[in-house]
Amino acid sequence: MQNAPQTYVITLNSPSQKGLRLWTGKSIHTLRHCSVKQIGRALMEIQQQMADLHRTLPEPRGSYSLNRAR
């Protein structure tokens, strides 16, 4: 049985502190702040999901630049 998908949100801790907070939950409506123990596992899951996503993307064809001359 596969685990239910998780939603992850990274926010600034506060405007005066430059730390980040990681929130996770089964949906955007059930987010909870990750504990220190959960952060490592959550970041590994995010990294694995990004790697899986990159493997499914097609190879780029040719060159493309957003700053091309008009």
CA gap 38, 41 in Å, rounded: 5
Residue 65 within any structural domain of the chain: no
Supply the range of the domain harboring residue 42: 7-53
Residue 64 within any structural domain of the chain: no
Residue 23 within any structural domain of the chain: yes
CA gap 6, 26 in Å, rounded: 5
pLDDT tens digit sequence for 27-44? 888 888 888 778 888 888
Residue 41 within any structural domain of the chain: yes
Domain count, the chain: 1
Instruction: Kindly tell me if the per-residue pLDDT of 68 is higher than 80.
Output: no
pTM of whole model > 0.85?
no
Residue 38 within any structural domain of the chain: yes
Instruction: Kindly tell me if the per-residue pLDDT of 67 is higher than 80.
Output: no
Read off the tokens for 70: 């008009």
Residue 17 within any structural domain of the chain: yes
